[in-house]
C-alpha cells in the first residue's frame, strides 16, 4: 500500500464489514474501509478505516493526502458523490500545483 506510487487515475471505493457486537450489545457495529486504487496498476495506493457513522466524503482528503502525486483523474462510487468531494479534490489539485 505504498502511497508513493504516482498515478494518473485513481478509483475510490467503499467496503463495509461488520464485527461482532460486544457482550450485552445486540447491535452489530460496522467498519468502513475506504480505498484509493491505481486504475492502471490495480494496486491500493491509499486507505482509511472508519466507524459506521463517519460520512464517506470526509475521507477523500485523507485518502488523497496519502498519495504522493495526486495529479490526475479520480473516479468514485456514489457514496462520494457530492459537493464536499468536489471541493476537497479541487483543493488538493490546486495545492499540488
| Entry pTM | 0.69
What is the helix (H) or strand (E) element at residue 45, kind and residue range?
strand 44-51
The C-alpha cell at 50 is 472508519
The residues spanned by each domain of the chain are 31-95
**Distance from chain centroid for Cα 17:** 15
Q: Dump pLDDT digits (tens) for 5-40.
A: 444 556 666 666 666 666 777 666 778 888 888 878
Tell me the C-alpha distance between 57 and 81, whole Å: 8
pLDDT tens track for 59-78:
999 998 998 776 677 788 78
Amino acid at each position: 500500500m505504498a502511497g508513493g506510487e504516482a498515478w494518473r487515475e485513481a478509483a475510490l471505493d467503499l467496503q463495509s464489514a461488520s464485527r461482532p457486537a460486544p457482550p450485552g450489545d445486540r447491535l452489530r457495529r460496522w467498519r468502513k474501509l475506504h480505498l484509493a486504487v491505481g486504475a492502471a496498476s490495480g494496486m491500493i495506493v491509499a486507505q482509511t478505516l472508519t466507524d459506521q457513522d463517519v460520512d464517506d466524503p470526509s475521507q477523500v482528503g485523507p485518502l488523497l493526502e496519502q498519495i504522493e502525486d495526486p495529479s490526475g483523474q479520480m473516479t468514485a462510487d456514489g457514496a462520494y458523490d457530492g459537493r464536499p468531494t468536489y471541493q476537497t479534490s479541487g483543493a488538493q489539485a490546486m495545492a499540488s500545483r
